[in-house]
């Protein structure tokens, strides 16, 4: 089949809509549901991301996409008890792919609400069971075990979007798109991101561990499929903060840093032990946790609004508690899809635990940026690669 008609395009008034191939068959098969225009954009961008993560790290990979940018991405490293609790994962033995999915979804649970999931490997039963209780629009993977497919088909009253993609598919070297009736054409961004991209270390600190290099590579591959301008914070094999689609790079760095901070606060013992009523759903818990962490007026405004969520109203984290906790969050890796024009980006990143940086380099203020990096004892590599994605 080389054509699939869609209900509509980005919006209901944009009809007709379809996905099709000029030559050959479509490289995917819809096994369930009726994916839409934006679903396919998320699915195909997300699958490219996890495919490249798997190639780069040799680990099963997953991403959670929302509006053509990743909310989270991760490789299949084990979860500790705090992560399991923060991600609402039961204390069971998880497959490596299930670990990758739990980490990708847990990076920014607020943004992942209603996401499209991409997996690098055949979806197994363990991963499917983690997906079942989450609010999600669909999934793309190179295959599904029988039990996984059976479980996923029960989501959304049997209408969950399930796409199987051909893992051997290779797109044409040239890609085209239309804007306002004008056709654009360019070579596909098939640049390989690996350890070689990190060879030009320009900081005084040149101690790049294998785990930090892996995390920098994860950040750069994630940025390759994130709407620009963008930066990405990664720790222990998973994205913890993405700043996407900002016109100013410092705004990207702040946005992603704020998300990385919230991710870290979610591991605080008082947040992990919030006294929720037993019948409160995951989405409501995520909203309440975000408000508890982020809103200084939590206690003032709580009153009758929050009593329906908690057995007893918790006391908000103080500024001193937050500062002490965030200081423990070190060893974070930061990637940028283009150069940092000013050192303020590194100063903001440092406050969120960044110790390692990968950026394109090439700013007229590179010397200033390097000096800030050295003052903060960070390691920084110039990749010489711009990763704009639009």
Closest CA to 383 of 209, 249, 228, 221: 221
Which pLDDT score, from 0 to 100, does residue 303 have? 55
Which pLDDT score, from 0 to 100, does residue 40 have? 97
Which pLDDT score, from 0 to 100, does residue 298 have? 58
The residues that are catalytic are 66-67, 229, 390
Closest CA to 123 of 139, 112, 135, 134: 139
The answer to whether the CB of 97 falls within 8 A of the CB of 123 is yes
Which pLDDT score, from 0 to 100, does residue 305 have? 66
**What confidence tens digit (pLDDT) does each residue in 87-139 have?**
999 888 999 999 999 999 999 999 999 999 999 999 999 999 999 999 999 99
Which pLDDT score, from 0 to 100, does residue 292 have? 86
**What confidence tens digit (pLDDT) does each residue in 242-271 have?**
999 999 999 999 999 999 999 999 999 999
pTM of the predicted structure, to 2 decimals: 0.95
Identify the H or E element spanning 71: strand 69-75
Which pLDDT score, from 0 to 100, does residue 301 have? 52
Dist. CA 171–CA 223, nearest whole Å? 20
Say which DSSP state 67 is in: T
What residues in the chain have per-residue pLDDT under 50?
300
């Amino acid at each position: 089949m080389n054509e699939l008609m869609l209900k509509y395009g980005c919006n209901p008034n944009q009809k007709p809509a379809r996905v099709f191939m000029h030559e050959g068959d479509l490289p995917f098969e819809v096994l369930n549901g009726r994916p839409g225009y934006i679903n396919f954009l998320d699915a195909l961008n997300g699958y490219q991301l996890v495919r490249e993560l798997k190639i780069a790290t040799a680990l099963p990979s997953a991403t959670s996409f929302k509006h053509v940018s990743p909310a989270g991405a991760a490789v299949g490293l084990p979860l500790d008890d705090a992560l399991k609790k923060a991600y609402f994962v039961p204390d069971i033995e998880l497959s490596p792919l299930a670990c990758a999915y739990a980490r990708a979804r847990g990076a920014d649970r607020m943004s992942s609400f209603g996401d499209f999931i991409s997996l690098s490997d055949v979806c197994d039963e363990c991963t499917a069971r983690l997906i079942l209780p989450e609010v999600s629009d669909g999934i793309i993977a190179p295959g599904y075990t029988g039990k996984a497919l059976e479980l996923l088909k029960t989501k959304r009253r049997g209408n969950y979007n399930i796409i199987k993609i051909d893992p051997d598919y290779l797109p044409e070297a040239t890609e085209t798109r239309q804007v306002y009736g004008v056709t654009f054409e360019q070579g596909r961004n098939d640049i390989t991101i690996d350890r070689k991209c990190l060879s030009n270390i320009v900081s005084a600190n040149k101690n790049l561990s294998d785990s930090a290099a892996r995390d920098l590579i994860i950040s750069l591959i994630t940025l390759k499929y994130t709407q620009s301008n963008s930066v990405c914070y990664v720790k222990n094999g998973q994205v913890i903060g993405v700043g996407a689609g900002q016109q100013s790079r410092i705004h990207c760095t702040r946005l992603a840093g704020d998300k990385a901070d919230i991710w870290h606060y979610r591991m605080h013992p008082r947040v992990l032990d919030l006294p929720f009523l037993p019948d409160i759903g995951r989405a409501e818990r995520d909203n309440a946790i975000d408000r508890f962490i982020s809103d200084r007026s939590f206690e003032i405004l709580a009153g009758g609004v929050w009593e329906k969520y908690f057995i007893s109203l918790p006391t908000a984290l103080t500024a001193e508690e937050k500062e002490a906790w965030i200081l423990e969050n070190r060893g974070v890796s930061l990637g940028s899809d283009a150069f940092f024009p000013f050192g303020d980006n590194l100063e903001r990143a440092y406050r969120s635990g960044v110790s390692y940086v990968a950026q394109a380099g090439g700013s007229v203020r590179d010397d200033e940026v390097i000096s800030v990096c050295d003052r903060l004892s960070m390691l920084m590599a110039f990749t010489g690669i711009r990763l704009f994605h639009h």
